[in-house]
Amino acid sequence: MRENKASMTSLLSAFVRAYHSKYDTPVIFDDFLAQDLLSEKELSDISDHLIQGISFFSKDMARKLQGKPDDILKWVTQVQLSPTPLARAAYCEEVLLNEVKLGVKQYVILGAGLDTFCFRHPEVTNGTDIFEVDLRASQEDKLNRLTRLERDIPSRLHFAPMDFTAPLSFSRLNQEGFSRRKTFFSLLGVSYYLTKEHLARLLTQLFAEVPPGSSVVFDYADESLFEEKGLSNRVENMVKMAAAGGEPMLSCFSYKEIEKLLESSGLLIYEHLSPAVINDRFFSGRTDHLTAFETIHYIHAVKK
């Protein structure tokens, strides 16, 4: 990653949230601020790259939609890119808002990227501290974007740089006011890029610092990740894009593996959403291209 630059993964995630909020109906997850965080040039460049790259995703659709750039962008975004970032964010925030009602005092966003939660839900920051955790370069890039927008940083929003692949240190979190209070963690779009050992270590270390009743929502790929092609080869394309972008996917799990990993960290699965359940819950009744990814599952796990 270049210094003071957001990762391509976080830029693309922000782009699909912005596109969905502006163009799709009905809205699954309304991140109406995502577009503001991206420059006009970034929006234009990403759109152009996706349109020009249609043959990578599907040669058949490239022929079928030739000369229709808006239709190409819609197909690529809705079929290949949007489903997981949208549905997992909707699920996570649904769980979080309920957990806040149940007494959560700290929200830790692991791999925050260009997350906009605290700006979309100012009511939560009245009684909940929000800690964004990511690589230093990503956080500096985000702060520069917020400065450009003349956005004031809420007093309860804290930035703690951290590399998830290195030994975990709570020193920066503690410096920002993190303490042993009931905590909710989100770990979205991260598990794929960690080895199984790193993920297990991360969860164990995180939950050693918080009381029972604290919980986490994360997404993971099942054991078919590297064999499943998916609708219009989108699963295979996802794996190839991650590798080409310098952030290769490293891990996939069976349900039993996830259950055992969580148990070793003192966690119990409260809710598990399979691809079929995700599709029914977030995509049913739609008339566009949006459907749940074939290999991606969501977990809400709670400390015993």
Q: Going from the N-terminus, what domains does the chain have, and what CATH number goes with each?
A: 8-81 (no CATH), 83-303 (3.40.50.150)
Reduced 3-state DSSP string for 228-263: CCCHHHHHHHHHHHHHHCCCCCCCCECHHHHHHHHH
Give the residue among 52, 154, 48 at the shortest CA–CA distance from 107.
154
pLDDT tens column, 87-146: 999 999 999 999 999 999 999 999 999 999 999 999 998 889 999 999 999 999 999 999
- B/e letters for 260-269, b = 16+ CB within 10 Å, e = fewer, are ebbeebebee
Higher pLDDT, 209 or 4: 209
Under the banding of pLDDT at 50, 70 and 90, the label for residue 66 is very high
Verify cis geometry, omega within 30 degrees of 0, for the bond prior to 26.
yes
Residue 291, SS3? coil
Query: What local confidence, expressed as pLDDT, does residue 162 receive?
Result: 86
Q: Using pLDDT thresholds of 50, 70 and 90, give the confidence band for residue 2.
A: very low
pTM to 2 decimal places: 0.94
- The two tokens of residue 177 are 């006011």
How large a percentage of the chain has pLDDT more than 90? 88
Mean local confidence (pLDDT), 235-259: 93
Burial environment of residue 172 by CB neighbours within 10 A (0 to 12, 13 to 18, 19 or more) = middle
pLDDT reported for residue 163? 81
pLDDT band at 1 (very low <50, low <70, confident <90, very high): very low
Is residue 269 classed as helix, strand or coil in its secondary structure?
strand
pLDDT in tens, 151-174: 999 999 999 998 876 777 778 888
Distance CA 232, CA 223 (A): 19
- Look at residues 231, 232, 301 and name the one whose alpha carbon lies nearest to residue 269: 301
| CA gap 157, 113 in Å, rounded | 14
Whole-number average pLDDT of the chain? 94
pLDDT class of 184 with cuts at 50, 70, 90: very high
